[in-house]
Amino acid sequence: MTRSSARWLALAVALLALATLPFWMIGDYYTNIASQILYWAIFALGLNVLVGYAGLVSLGHAALFAMAGYTAGLVLEAGHGHILAIVLGLTASVATSAVFAVLALRSTGIGFLMITLALGQIVWGIAYRWADLTHGDNGVVLHGYPRPFGLGIDTPTGFYYLTFLFFLLALASMTIFVRSPFGASLRGTRDQARRMTALGYNVWLIRFFAFLISGLWAGIAGLLFVYYNQFISPQIVALQTSAEVLLMVISGGTATLLGPIAGAAIVVIMKNVVSAYVERWNLVLGVIFVAIISFMPEGLVPGSIRLWKMGWRALLTRKKALPNTGAPPS
Amino acid sequence: MTALGVNRLCKSFGGLRVTANVNLDIAAGERRLIIGPNGAGKTTLFNLITGELTPDSGSITLFDHDITKTPSRRRPHLGMARTYQIITLFPRDSILRNVTLGLLGLSDLRWSPFHDLARQQHLVDDAHEALKRVGLTHIAERPLAQTSYGERRRVEIAMALAQKPKVLLLDEPFAGLSIDERRDVKELLLTIPRDVTMVMIEHNMDVALDFADRITLLHFGEVIVEGTRAEVVDDPRTREVYLGH
C-alpha cells in the first residue's frame, strides 16, 4: 500500500467513525462531547488560518466567536427568525473581524498579539458592562432551535450531525484553501513578507482577507456554540477562551489541517471527561501541554508523525543490521 | 529611451544623509554597474528605486513614467524585478514553488482560494522554463533548505527572470559564491537578452567589470564618478575611494 492510499484509507475510516458516532457511542453525554469537539475544532481551524498560515498570533478571537453568538441571541430575543439571526450573527462576526484587522494589521508579531488582545478585551468589556443590551453577567438566553430543511437539531444526535456537517465544510474548505494560490500567497507573507511585496503581492490585503476568513469560521463556530448551549455570557468573550483556542492550535500543530482538530479534542476531553475523574484536571492539561511543547515543539500531529517515522526508520535499520547466517532458528 | 531614470534623489535617516542628489539615466538595454565602498548607499538606492523606502525628495521614472509614488508592490507589475544581497527566499518550499510564487505575484490567480496551485500547468511550465535558464531543472522539486548557497543565488535570479522584467536590479549576485559558481552566474547573466535593462551592485570587480556598459561610483550617497568602464577605472577619484592605489 502506498503512503497516499494509506492516508486516504485512514481519512475514510476516521470520517466513517465520525459519521456513525451516535450509533456506537455510549449515551448522549458523549455524543454531546463529540459535538463540542467539532465546533471547537471549527473555531481552531479558523484561527489556524491566521496563526499557522499567516504567522499572526491573535489573542482576541473569542470576541469574533462571541460576536456571532451574541448577535444571533439578541436578534432572536427581539422576536426575529433564525435565518435573520444567523445571517446577522455571521455578518457581525465578519464585520468585527474587518475592524480588528484594520487596527491590528498595522503591526505583526508581539504588536499584533497585543492589539488583538486589547480589542478582545474591549468586546468583553462591552458584553460585561453594557447590561442594557447584553444583560451583563446574566447573558443572553435562547429558546429553541432552527429546523434546517425540516430536520430537528434539538436532540444530541440531530445537533451532532449539524455540527459534523459544518465540520466537514470547514475541513474541506481549509484543504482547498491550503492548496490554493491564495493559500500559497498567505504562507509567503508569513515566511518573507518583504520578498512578497517585491514580487508584486499586496501583503496587507492578503492578511486582511485571511483575517476575514478566520473570523467567518470563528463566527460559524460561535453560532454552533450558542445554539448548543442555548446561552451566551461574557465569560465566553474573556481572554481565557482566546487563550484556550490558541492552545488548541499550537498544541495540535500550527499550519496543519489535523493539528487544530487534535488540539480541540484534547482540551474538550480534558475539560469535560477527565475533570469527572481527576479533581485537578487543569494540572493534567498543563502537564500535557508542557510535554507536547517539550517533546513535540511542532505540535502533536506533526510531532507524532516525526516520531513514527523515526521509530520506523530505526526498526528498518535494526532489521538490516541483524546478521543473516542462513541457519534455521533453533 | 531611458529605461530607469533617477532625478535628484535624496534620502536621510535622521541626520545621516544616505542618498544625496543622485541622478541616473540608464538607457534601455544598458548594463549598469553601481560600485562604491561599504556604506556608500548602494542598497539604499535600490530600495528607493523599488519603493521599499520612500525618498525625501527627487523622482524616479520607469520608461519615462513617474513611479516615485507608485507603491512598491505595484512596481513588479510595471516590469521591475530585483534580487537581494541577503538571500530572501521561502525556505519551507521547494525550488519550483519558490519560482512559481514569483510568477503568481503577477497573476490575478493569486487571489483565488479555490484553484489548486499545483495544477496550474502554465505557471508550473513557466517556472520550469525559468529554472532551465539558471540550470536548476534537475533539482526543481528539492526543498530550498537542502540546497547550496550558490543554488539559492541562482533561484533568486530565476525568480526575478520568471517575472519577465524590463528592468532587473541585481544586488551583489556574486556575493558568497565560489569561483566556479561565480563563473556560472556570470555566464547566466551574459545570456540575458538586451531587451532587459540590468543594474547591478557588485564588489567583485573581476566579474563585474566584464558585465558593465557604464559604471556609477557612489560615495557617501553621492555619485562622484560616472562613465564607461575605462573612464571610471582611470579616474583618480575611483582609485582614491574604491579601488586603491
Each residue's pLDDT tens digit, B209-228:
888 999 999 999 999 999 99
Nearest neighbour of A179 by CB, restricted to B89, B105, B117: B117
Tell me the chain A residues in contact with residue B155 when contact means C-beta distances shorter than 8 Å: none
Put the strands of the sheet holding B222-228 in their side by side order. Answer: B80-82, B167-171, B197-201, B31-35, B214-219, B222-228
- CA separation for the pair B107, B193 (Å, rounded): 23
CA distance A216 to chain B (A): 15
- CA separation for the pair A326, A329 (Å, rounded): 9
Q: Which of A321, A100, A77 is nearest to A210 (CA)?
A: A100
Asked if the model's pLDDT at residue B132 lies above 70, the reply is yes
Contacts of B226 (CB under 8 A, 6+ apart): B214, B215, B216, B217, B232
- Whether the pTM exceeds 0.90: the reply is yes
Asked if B42 and B217 count as a contact pair (C-beta separation under 8 A), the reply is no
Q: What's the rounded mean pLDDT across residues B23-41?
A: 95
Asked if the model's pLDDT at residue A279 lies above 90, the reply is no
- CA separation for the pair A223, A230 (Å, rounded): 10
Asked if the model's pLDDT at residue B80 lies above 80, the reply is yes
Neighbours of B204 (CB within 10 A): 14
A210: three-class secondary structure by DSSP? helix
Domain B1-79+165-245: give its CATH architecture.
Answer: 3-Layer(aba) Sandwich (3.40)
Q: What's the rounded mean pLDDT across residues A42-66?
A: 98
Return the domain boundaries, chain B. 1-79+165-245, 94-164
Tell me the chain B residues in contact with residue A184 when contact means C-beta distances shorter than 8 Å: 97, 100-101, 104, 117
pLDDT in the model for residue A303: 94
What is the predicted ipTM?
0.93
CA distance A142 to chain B (A): 35
Count contacts between A and B (CB, < 8 Å): 91
Termini Cα distance of chain B = 37
pLDDT in the model for residue A86: 97
CA distance A208 to chain B (A): 12
Asked if the model's pLDDT at residue A329 lies above 60, the reply is no
Cβ contact, residue pair A201, B105, below 8 Å: yes
B147: cell is 540546497
Cβ contact, residue pair B52, A197, below 8 Å: yes
pLDDT in the model for residue A1: 67
Asked if the model's pLDDT at residue A326 lies above 70, the reply is no
Q: Which of A173, A180, A196, A208 to mutate to test the interface with B (most CBs of B within 10 A)?
A: A180
Nearest neighbour of B112 by CB, restricted to A182, A191, A195: A182
Nearest neighbour of B117 by CB, restricted to A184, A196, A209: A184
DSSP β-bridge partners for residue B80: B167
Nearest neighbour of A201 by CB, restricted to B73, B88, B89: B73
